[in-house]
Amino acid sequence: MKILFVGISNKSTLSGDLKPLDETTATGKIISQIEQRIMKNSVKINLVDFTPLDDLGKIRYPNDFEIQNNMPKLIEFIKSHAPCLVFLLGKLVEKSFFKYSEMKKIKDCCYFLDIHIILYSIKHPSYIHTYKKDLTGEYINEIEAIVKKHI
């Protein structure tokens, strides 16, 4: 069973862009803890495959144009990796999927694409790290329970 985590964008360093959800970031560390707990084959990708920067060179959220242009690549990536379960990390990723793909909402947090993949929208790990750090274990437990539900 392959699991896919979809973040927002890559983080940039002086040596270049990091891989999606890199373990050197707070988000990547939490995803790594989840991967260790669920012990399943997982893949990580971002909504856009670059680091969006503002005029001052600071990281920003990708805009609609950037997201829309990257969505066909992202959908193709999902189809080619054929995961059974996809976690959409945060509202921006969820809203972008609704806006630029053929995702349909079936239940409160569970979705299906025309390719019969189960998607869950969950809080972004950076939100947990920044505002709910004391609930990190509970967050990981909830994701583990979702994975067990669909195995």
Token digits of residue 133: 């750090």
Instruction: With H, G, I as helix, E, B as strand and everything else as coil, classify residue 12.
Output: strand
Residue 113 or 138, more confident: 138
State pLDDT tens for residues 56-113.
988 899 999 999 999 999 988 988 888 989 999 999 999 998 888 877 777 666 666 6
Q: Which two tokens stand for residue 110?
A: 């569970």
Which pLDDT score, from 0 to 100, does residue 10 have?
85
Number of neighbouring beta carbons within 10 Å of residue 97: 24
What strand order describes the sheet that includes 85-89? Answer: 41-46, 2-7, 85-89, 118-122, 110-112, 104-105
List the structure tokens of 59.
Answer: 């990281």
pTM over 0.85: yes
* pLDDT of 11 over the 70 cut: yes
User: CA dihedral in degrees (7, 9, 14, 15; nearest 10)?
Assistant: 70
Amino acid (one-letter) located at 83: P
Beta bridge partners of 110: 120
Per-residue pLDDT, 30 = 95
